[in-house]
């Protein structure tokens, strides 16, 4: 919350002071700095190229990697998040279902998942509450269910 307050205050007073914390500010400074140094207009093709290069995923090409942005999590945490959902939000339920029963899921978004378990009609599981679906809330249920059909049956009762 303290960081959030700091960022909101910075946005209110001097957004450019947040260039080490906010990606869009850092990107603006890089592109605008180039524009000013070379006296080019905003519609110059070189700026469009920089816009793309800023987020290039190749470490040796990525401009974002060179601007000194603060990192809020370690490389290990990022790599873990690629395969493991966070324990403390509804993303846990969604991620674990996708890990186990991806072939049975026809849609997944922030607030629902839709399952196709064969002969039955599609089944939508609403997830409107961000704090429901956490490991503490559904971890045991997910561990106990062998199939998505069993999960849906148990959720329905």
- What does the block give as tokens for 42? 């905003």
Where do the H-state alpha helices sit in the chain? 2-13, 23-38, 45-54, 75-83, 91-101, 135-144, 148-156
Question: In whole numbers, what is the pLDDT of the chain averaged over residues?
Answer: 94
pLDDT one digit per residue (tens) for the chain, 157 residues: 999 999 999 999 999 999 999 999 999 999 999 999 999 999 999 999 999 999 998 989 999 999 999 999 998 999 999 999 999 999 999 999 999 999 999 999 999 999 999 888 999 999 999 888 999 999 999 999 999 999 999 998 5
pLDDT at 157: 56
- Rounded distance between C-alpha atoms, residue 58 and residue 43, angstroms: 25
How far CA 28 is from CA of 22, 38, 90, 99, in Å, comes to 10, 15, 34, 38
pLDDT at 57: 86
Nearest to 143 by CA among 152, 151, 155: 151
Strands 123-126, 105-109: pairing kind: unpaired
């Amino acid at each position: 919350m303290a960081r959030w307050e700091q960022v909101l205050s910075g946005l209110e007073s001097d957004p450019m002071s947040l260039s080490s914390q906010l990606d869009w500010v850092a990107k603006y400074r890089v592109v605008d700095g180039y524009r000013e140094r070379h006296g080019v207009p905003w519609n110059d093709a070189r700026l469009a190229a920089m816009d793309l290069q800023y987020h290039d995923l190749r470490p040796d090409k990525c401009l974002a990697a060179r601007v000194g942005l603060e990192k809020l999590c370690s490389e290990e945490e990022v790599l873990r998040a690629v395969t493991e959902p966070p324990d403390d939000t509804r993303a846990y339920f969604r991620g674990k279902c996708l890990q186990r029963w991806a072939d049975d899921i026809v849609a997944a978004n922030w607030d629902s998942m839709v399952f196709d378990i064969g002969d039955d009609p599609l089944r939508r599981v609403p997830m409107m509450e961000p704090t429901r679906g956490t490991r503490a809330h559904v971890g045991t249920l997910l561990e106990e269910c062998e199939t998505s059909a069993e999960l849906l049956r148990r959720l329905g009762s």
